[in-house]
Chains A and B, each alone.
Chain A
Amino acid sequence: MLRVKPPHPWVTFGNETRKKQNNFSVSDFVPLKLKKMTRLYVMIAFLFTGIMTGSSQATFTTITIDKKIQPGLVLELPNNTDVAESTILQKLKETGYNPETKGELFWKKNKLDGFYAFNGIVLAALNNQKLDMYFKVEPKSKTQKDKSTIYLLVSKGYDNFISPEVDTATFAAATAFLNGFVAGTAGYRLNLDIEEQGKVVKNAEKNLASLQDDDKDLVREDR
């Protein structure tokens, strides 16, 4: 027996359709459009989620420092705090600043209310303008210690912290500087991985050399 699939409730066949063909009303289309729109919204939602999780961006936030609320920036990184801290040093060196000239790990002692302070940093985007930067690095959460959050406050001296409203150009330059940390940590992490992998290869080669030595000894004993 031939089974005929029932027509879609919004599409009609036969004489009725022919009659309707030249007489469509808005209600004929609405349900189809709703379905399409729902699909579209779902796709946009997926795409948006993908973009958000795929790359993090520095965003404006307010930060309490020295008991005062100040404008600042926050950035989440997919690396632990050690990598994030090393990236700070690396990115500062890229600007021409050398935090280690003042003694190894001195920068970790140079703190203001838990923030690492670096004074007199010059960003390429700003014409030789010296800025003070205050960084705080924390694990993203107690359960996500493999990820970190960097807070950055930028000052033109003392507590003269910049905000996007007061100094748009400087704030934009600071945002771009912090956004550079995303690729910076990825590069730093990759270099560490390469170093580790190089060690694995060397160890494997040592093991082979040891086996080859054993082989020679065994052959000698056999004679």
Chain B
Amino acid sequence: MQANLRNNKNDQAMQEKEIANQKIKLEELKTKVVKL
């Protein structure tokens, strides 16, 4: 049970990083619109 919890916390942390990265990519694309 504890191992599952630990894994889940790790997955959450990874997912949060993933969201942050994808949001950066989204912002980069939006910046290109302004330049166009």
Interface, chain A (partner B; CB < 8 A): 183, 186-187, 190-191, 193-194, 197-198, 200-201, 204-205, 207-208, 211-212, 214-215, 218-219, 221-222
Chain B's closest residue to A191 (CB) is: B33
Q: A201-B23, A204-B22 are in contact. Are A211 and B33 (CB under 8 A)?
A: no
The contact string, 1 if C-beta is below 8 Å from chain A, for chain B 10-33, is 011001101100110110011011
Q: What's the count of A-B pairs with C-beta under 8 Å? A: 55
Chain B residues within 8 Å of chain A by Cβ, number: 21
Chain A residues near B18: list those with CB within 8 A.
204
| Min C-beta distance of A182 to chain B, whole Å | 11
| Min C-beta distance of B22 to chain A, whole Å | 5
Q: Is the CB of A215 within 8 A of B36?
A: no
Chain A residues near B1: list those with CB within 8 A.
218, 221-222
* Cα–Cα, bound, A190→B34 (Å): 11
Interface, chain B (partner A; CB < 8 A): 1-2, 4-5, 8-9, 11-12, 15-16, 18-19, 22-23, 25-26, 29-30, 32-33, 36
| Min C-beta distance of B10 to chain A, whole Å | 10
Chain A's closest residue to B6 (CB) is: A218
Chain B residues near A218: list those with CB within 8 A.
1, 4-5, 8
* Cα–Cα, bound, A49→B10 (Å): 51
Chain B residues near A222: list those with CB within 8 A.
1-2, 5
| CB-contact partner of A208 in B16, B26, B33, under 8 A | B16
| CB-contact partner of B19 in A183, A193, A205, A215, under 8 A | A205
